[in-house]
Amino acid sequence: MTDTLICVGTILGVHGLKGTLTVYSDTRPASGIAGYSCWYLGMTAENVKAYAVDRCWQHGNKGMLAELEGVTTRTQAEQLKRVKIWVSADDIEVEDGEYLWENLLGCNVYVDDQLIGSVWALEAYGAQDILVVKTSESADVQGEWMLPFTEDVVQVVDMEERRVNICLLDGMEACFTPKS
């Protein structure tokens, strides 16, 4: 597989006797995972098998149920438990002002034109996404920033320059954890 794959969920288990899968969706909204007609299943993006999605529907708050072509028994479905769901990055539509988390990783982060580090990860804790920034090796104090990904904090994202400009609001020094 030469396509870039993005993880969009995980198969949690089996629902019923006919191979229906319970799925945890990482997409927003959760039902967004139903918009892909082909899922690549595997523990890593390098080791996947393609499955056509016959049917996928909302089940509970963040859960989904899915039926995949060729998975018609409970036994077949149980073999897919805990497997990751991947889709082609080319199939993911991103609106202006939206970014795939994977594309933000490694971007340099600046405050007032001073490099503070690079994006290490993004995390979701409920109210808003969190931009995790590891300090640059030249920083006086090594550590990690956990910054809310909001319009007030994240001022500019320039994907061509791989640069994120942020504004540290009053009290945001509490978002920094020094490396001990």
Split at pLDDT 50, 70, 90, the class of 62 is low
Q: pLDDT digits over 120-135, tens only? A: 998 887 778 899 999 9
Which CATH number among 2.40.10.340, 2.40.30.60, 3.40.50.740, 2.30.30.90 corresponds to the domain 5-91? 2.40.30.60
5-91 matches 101-178 in fold: no
Instruction: Name residue, tokens 């073999």.
Output: 79
The pLDDT assigned to 1 comes to 47
Report the chain's mean pLDDT, rounded to a whole number.
Answer: 91
Mean pLDDT confidence for 94-115: 88
CATH classification (class only), 101-178: mainly beta
Cα–Cα distance measured from residue 14 to residue 74, given in angstroms and rounded to the nearest whole number? 7
Give the CB-side neighbour count of residue 95, counting CA atoms within 13 A.
2
Separation of CA 1 from chain center: 20
Q: Are 101 and 8 in contact (CB under 8 A)?
A: no
Pairing status of strand 49-58 against strand 20-25: unpaired
- Write down the domain spans for the chain: 5-91, 101-178
